[in-house]
């Protein structure tokens, strides 16, 4: 793209610097809806990873054959196919998790994170970069889902992955596994992210200012 | 595409349609194969879930049959799947009829609660209750299936004249159910759904069910 | 001091100053709340006092942590954090574990005020945010009500749940719990006699039960001209009329006016929370709209919703509508069209 980067860099940018949830604020629907436990978050993250990597791979291979005019429809067909595959596989292998995630598996199709990566990245680059980018982005998504899911399950049920952490007398914070808990936790995490970014920016500015003053004092 | 360079040739509409058709075809093949591949497992899972639920609400049962209520006539359901008039009969190891597993559903605090409950016609008692679907508040309303002290209300519950909810700890008669502190609405919803189920099913059902076809017994043909 | 000759005073505007500042306004409200608060202590004993202290501590500590070092003392000395903690404490059940009351205070200031940029920036009344959070988070503890014990003999008898260890559950004490008048009305269709309702000798939130004393405080505020009286009046009128209508249609199912006005958080909410100048409309017309909205919503939620009490959500809802009300009731600038 802009400057030549290694495929490793392409992957890492999705996890932190351009994190799809915390920085780009994409994919909010599954983010808020299925993160009421760590297991659900993990399942949703892995399903998204499968769909994103699979469709990025295909889109990147086919990018020269897909005419511009029908590209969005073609991407959607590709994405929807992968979503259907993961939907049926989950239903067959993990019916319990499928029941919990419910309508949000089919809704991965409409996750703008996935279509966005096809349109903005996979359709313009080689297969290797496309897959690494998809891995990074969905890794970042998985990381965000897990962060939210863990916090909500720890506070809301006193457990992580169903394992009780604080003993049977823990008073669960019911609101955390309800929808408002999702909004609250996400808001606080976003706040934290912005605070960290702002601190870094300030530090950089201060650093430059100090450099400038050194320059000036030399002159 | 307004941003397109004028030099670039517009692809013909045939090519556009062909691309989409090919993509749709490939995608269709993929979806059909995954559907075919997973269908047996999914059906088996669903059947096992149902059987487990029936066995759970009818203690002592080791075999179940699907029934269909047509008008006031009960018969074995031969077609696959189920509809709203499908119910289940449970038999013990000797093949004798034990009781019915009756589905019923209605509005809870959040969303529809779907219930399967075991009913013994001879004693006119509910002997077990399983929540098949509910979205009640976690930590509160979900006690209708997580709180054993509530669920155990339904292990030996007389349905006459109707089932009533009482404040927790005040259960004194066999047709009373202890409510859940803090989740009265969900608890009352469960009782109401079972009462509605009773009104719908109970009077139409023969006391001794349908005899198994393999081992016809003297109760056959009883209405 | 001997009288000096009159001197020429040079002063910039404003030349007329009124004594009304944020600290005095806050102090007035706190004074107005005292009678009902003391009645709550008297009815529910030392546990109630501890709950209020825990809630105030939560508020003040959060305010202290999240304010700039230089502004800390100024921010705390205006008393707004103390008032928030006091209001929140008065809406809590007297037997609530202290750690929950403390968390309520932290959330009230943290999510209700600081995050919006401090006093004046918040959209929702901080005390109600704290209570809403607690109600959603600890629904059982927040709806376990205890009988008013009353009197000096029992003052030092603690409720057993008061000193529950932090983050731990309350040991079950079903024997002591008692439904509130609103709960009785909603789930068992039992009316409570008017005398108990007015003087607060019922189970309920520790500072909400005594309608009369809350009204006395309101009168004090009115005399001090520190009360936007249109809002509570609009709430009483709209809730009263709506209840009257429902009661005429089906007297068996719907309560009558005195019950609506004197039960639950009606008085505390209408006089002290809905009138919070930060979160209620600026114009008089807006105040009437705001109050009527709160009143109608209270009756709607109480009679047709899943919960017995609706004052909290009614005020939160109208708080959210306040910017819109302000916008549509903005007086026209003279000489301008539309």
All residues of chain B having their beta carbon less than 8 Å from the beta carbon of residue A81 are 26-27, 30-31
How many structural domains are present in chain C? 1
H-state helical runs in chain C? 22-44, 46-65, 72-77, 80-90, 98-110, 126-137, 139-142, 181-188, 194-199, 211-223, 230-249, 257-262, 266-267, 284-304, 311-328
Nearest CA distance, A61 vs chain B (angstrom): 13
Tokens describing residue B210 = 């349908």
Average pLDDT over residues B69-79: 79
Cis preceding-peptide flag for C260 (omega within 30 of 0) = no
Is residue B186 within 8 Å of residue B141, measured between CB atoms?
Answer: yes
B187 within some domain: yes
| B207 CA to centre of own chain | 22
Interchain CB distance below 8 Å, A68 and B1: yes
**Which phi and psi angles does C330 have, rounded to 5°?**
-60, 125
Write out the DSSP string of C65-133: HTS-TTTHHHHHHT-HHHHHHHHHHHTS-TT--HHHHHHHHHHHHHTTTGGGTSTTT-SS-HHHHHHHH
pLDDT at C172: 62
CB-based contact, B69 to chain C, within 8 Å: no
C122 within some domain: yes
What residues pair up with A216 in beta bridges, in sequence order?
Answer: none
In the predicted model, what is the mean pLDDT of chain A? 86
pLDDT at C102: 94
Residue pLDDT, tens place only, B190-209: 889 988 888 888 888 887 77
Strands B176-178 and B164-166: parallel
Nearest CA distance, B34 vs chain A (angstrom): 6
Residue pLDDT, tens place only, A48-75: 999 999 999 999 998 888 888 888 888 9
What's the angle, vertex CA C105, arms to CA C100 and CA C108, rounded to 5? 120
Interchain CB distance below 8 Å, B181 and C139: no
B89 within some domain: yes
Q: Which of C140, C177, C306 sits opposite B109 (nearest CB)?
A: C306
Strands A163-164 and B157-158: unpaired
Q: Is the pLDDT of residue C37 over 80?
A: yes
Taking residue C214's Cβ as centre, other Cβ atoms within 10 Å add up to 28
Nearest CA distance, A23 vs chain B (angstrom): 29
Q: Which of C174, C187, C306 sits opposite B181 (nearest CB)?
A: C174
Is residue C141 within 8 Å of residue C161, measured between CB atoms?
Answer: yes
- Overall pTM > 0.90: no
All residues of chain C having their beta carbon less than 8 Å from the beta carbon of residue A174 are 136-139
**Which phi and psi angles does C92 have, rounded to 5°?**
-95, 155
Residue pLDDT, tens place only, C181-232: 777 776 666 667 777 777 777 778 888 878 888 888 999 998 888 888 899 9
CB-based contact, B180 to chain C, within 8 Å: no
Interchain CB distance below 8 Å, C168 and A175: no
The CATH number given to whatever domain includes residue C89 is: 1.10.3430
For residue A21, give the nearest of A176, A138, A169 by alpha carbon: A138
Is residue C268 within 8 Å of residue C314, measured between CB atoms?
Answer: no
Tokens describing residue A41 = 């978050």
Q: Tell me the residue range of the domain where C85 lies.
A: 22-328
pLDDT at C7: 66
Q: Cα separations (Å) of C17 from A53, C20, C227?
A: 69, 9, 19
Domain ranges of chain A: 7-165+174-218
| C79 CA to centre of own chain | 16
Those of residues 98-157 in C touching chain B at CB distance below 8 A are 139-140, 143-144
C188 within some domain: yes
| C99 CA to centre of own chain | 20
Residue pLDDT, tens place only, B11-40: 788 888 888 899 899 999 999 999 999 999
H helix and E strand count, chain B = 4, 9
The count of C-alpha atoms lying within 13 angstroms of the C-alpha of B212, restricted to the half-sphere facing its C-beta, is: 14
How many structural domains are present in chain B? 1
Q: Is the pLDDT of residue A80 over 70?
A: yes
Mean pLDDT check: name the lowest of A165-174, B193-202, C105-114, C311-320.
A165-174
Average pLDDT over residues B61-90: 80
Q: Is the pLDDT of residue A201 over 80?
A: yes
For residue A85, give the nearest of A129, A51, A122 by alpha carbon: A51
pLDDT at B145: 84
Confidence bin at C86 (pLDDT 50/70/90): very high
Confidence bin at B71 (pLDDT 50/70/90): confident
Residue pLDDT, tens place only, C272-291: 999 988 888 989 999 999 99
Report d(CA A127, CA A133) in Å as an integer: 10
Confidence bin at B223 (pLDDT 50/70/90): very low
Q: Tell me the residue range of the domain where B60 lies.
A: 46-204
Average pLDDT over residues C98-115: 92
C13 within some domain: no
All residues of chain A having their beta carbon less than 8 Å from the beta carbon of residue B42 are 88, 91-92, 95
Strands B97-107 and B86-91: antiparallel
Confidence bin at C3 (pLDDT 50/70/90): low
């Amino acid at each position: 793209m802009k400057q030549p980067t290694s495929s490793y860099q392409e992957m890492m940018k999705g996890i932190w610097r351009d994190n799809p949830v915390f920085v780009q604020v994409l994919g909010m629907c599954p983010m808020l809806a299925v993160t009421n436990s760590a297991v659900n978050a993990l399942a949703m993250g892995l399903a998204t990873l499968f769909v994103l990597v699979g469709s990025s791979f295909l889109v990147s291979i086919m990018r020269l054959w897909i005419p511009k005019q029908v590209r969005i429809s073609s991407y959607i067909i590709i994405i929807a196919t992968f979503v259907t595959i993961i939907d049926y596989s989950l239903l067959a292998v993990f019916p319990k998790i499928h029941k919990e995630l419910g309508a949000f598996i089919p809704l991965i199709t409409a996750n703008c994170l996935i279509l966005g990566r096809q349109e903005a990245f996979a359709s313009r680059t080689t297969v290797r970069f496309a897959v690494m980018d998809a891995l990074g982005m969905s890794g970042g998504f998985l990381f965000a889902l897990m962060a939210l899911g863990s916090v909500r399950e720890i506070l809301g049920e006193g457990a992580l992955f169903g394992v009780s952490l604080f003993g049977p007398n823990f008073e669960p914070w019911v609101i955390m596994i309800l929808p408002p808990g999702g909004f609250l936790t996400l808001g606080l995490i976003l706040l934290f992210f912005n605070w960290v970014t702002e601190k870094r920016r300030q530090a950089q500015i201060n650093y430059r200012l100090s450099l400038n003053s050194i320059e000036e004092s030399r002159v | 595409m307004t941003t397109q360079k004028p030099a670039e040739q517009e692809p013909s509409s045939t090519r556009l349609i062909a691309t989409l058709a090919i993509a749709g075809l490939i995608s269709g093949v993929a979806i059909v194969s995954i559907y075919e591949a997973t269908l047996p497992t999914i059906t088996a899972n669903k059947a096992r879930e149902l059987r487990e639920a029936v066995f759970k609400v009818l203690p002592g049962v080791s075999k179940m049959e699907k029934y269909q209520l047509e008008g006031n006539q009960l018969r074995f359901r031969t077609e696959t799947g189920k509809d709203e008039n499908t119910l289940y009969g449970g038999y013990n190891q000797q093949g004798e009829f034990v009781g019915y597993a009756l589905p019923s559903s209605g509005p809870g605090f959040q969303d529809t609660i779907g219930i399967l409950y075991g009913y013994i016609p001879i004693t006119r008692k509910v002997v077990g209750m399983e929540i098949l679907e509910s979205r009640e508040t976690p930590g509160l309303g979900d006690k209708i299936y997580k709180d054993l002290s509530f669920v155990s209300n339904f292990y030996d519950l007389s349905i006459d004249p109707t089932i009533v909810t009482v404040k927790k700890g005040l259960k004194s008669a066999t047709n009373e159910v202890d409510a859940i502190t803090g989740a009265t609405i969900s608890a009352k919803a469960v009782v109401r759904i079972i009462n509605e189920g009773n009104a719908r099913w109970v009077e139409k059902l023969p006391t001794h069910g349908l005899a198994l076809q393999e081992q016809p017994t003297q109760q056959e043909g009883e209405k | 001091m001997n009288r000096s000759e009159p001197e020429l005073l040079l002063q910039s505007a404003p030349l007329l100053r009124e004594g009304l500042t944020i600290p005095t306004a806050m102090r007035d409200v706190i004074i107005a709340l005292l009678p009902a608060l003391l009645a709550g202590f008297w009815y529910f004993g030392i546990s109630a006092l501890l709950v209020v202290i825990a809630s105030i501590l939560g508020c003040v500590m959060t305010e202290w942590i999240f304010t700039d070092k230089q502004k800390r003392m100024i921010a705390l000395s205006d008393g707004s954090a103390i008032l928030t903690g006091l209001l929140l404490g008065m809406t809590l059940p007297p037997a609530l574990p202290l750690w929950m009351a403390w968390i309520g205070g932290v959330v009230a200031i943290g999510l209700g005020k600081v995050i919006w940029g401090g006093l004046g920036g918040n959209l929702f009344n901080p005390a109600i945010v704290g209570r809403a959070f607690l109600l959603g988070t600890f629904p059982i503890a927040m709806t376990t009500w205890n009988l008013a014990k009353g009197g000096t003999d029992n003052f030092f008898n603690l409720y057993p749940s008061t000193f529950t260890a932090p983050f731990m559950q309350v040991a079950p004490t079903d024997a002591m719990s008692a439904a509130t008048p609103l709960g009785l009305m909603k789930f068992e269709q039992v009316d409570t006699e008017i005398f108990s309702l007015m003087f607060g000798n019922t189970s309920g939130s520790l500072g909400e039960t005594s309608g009369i004393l809350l009204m006395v405080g309101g009168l004090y505020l009115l005399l001090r001209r520190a009360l936007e009286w249109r809002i509570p009046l609009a709430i009483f009128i709209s809730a009263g009329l709506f209840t009257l209508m429902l009661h005429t249609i089906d007297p068996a199912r719907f309560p009558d006016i005195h019950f609506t006005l004197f039960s639950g958080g009606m008085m505390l909410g209408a006089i002290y929370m809905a009138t919070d100048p930060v979160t209620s409309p600026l114009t008089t017309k807006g105040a009437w709209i705001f109050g009527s909205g709160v009143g109608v919503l209270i009756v709607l939620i109480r009679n047709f919703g899943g919960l017995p009490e609706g004052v909290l959500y009614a005020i939160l809802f109208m708080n959210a509508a306040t910017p819109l009300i302000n916008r549509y009731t903005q007086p026209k600038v003279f000489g301008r069209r539309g």
